[in-house]
Amino acid sequence: MWLYFFICYFCGIWAFSSSRKHLLITLLSLEFVVLVLYFSIYFYLCHFNYNLFFVVYFLVFSVCEGSLGLSILVSMIRSHGNDYFQSYSVLQC
């Protein structure tokens, strides 16, 4: 079971590091990594009969991370018209 989570985690990291063309693909791969971490922490805490308060906090922070990523994506599409990294310059105000 832990090997499955380990393989899924590194597949998500590989997808995040290999996709540098669109912002939406990188955000989806980050959400996949967060989802795999969430399930692995949940199964770990359930296996040892710990409290699940940490899972709730982790889920709250992952939702905040996802909403910030979507707000950056929407503002980038509104200002530049697409989500390509090549059309976005950090030096512009």
Q: Is residue 85 part of a domain?
A: no
pLDDT tens, 35-83?
A: 999 999 999 999 998 888 999 999 999 999 999 999 988 988 888 888 7
**Is 86 within a domain?**
no
Predicted structure pTM score: 0.84
Query: Is 73 part of any domain?
Result: yes
Domain region containing 19: 2-80
Q: Rounded to whole angstroms, how far apart are CA atoms 41 and 74?
A: 31
Q: Coil, helix or strand for 18? A: helix
CATH of the domain at 59: 1.10.287.3510
Domain contains 65: yes
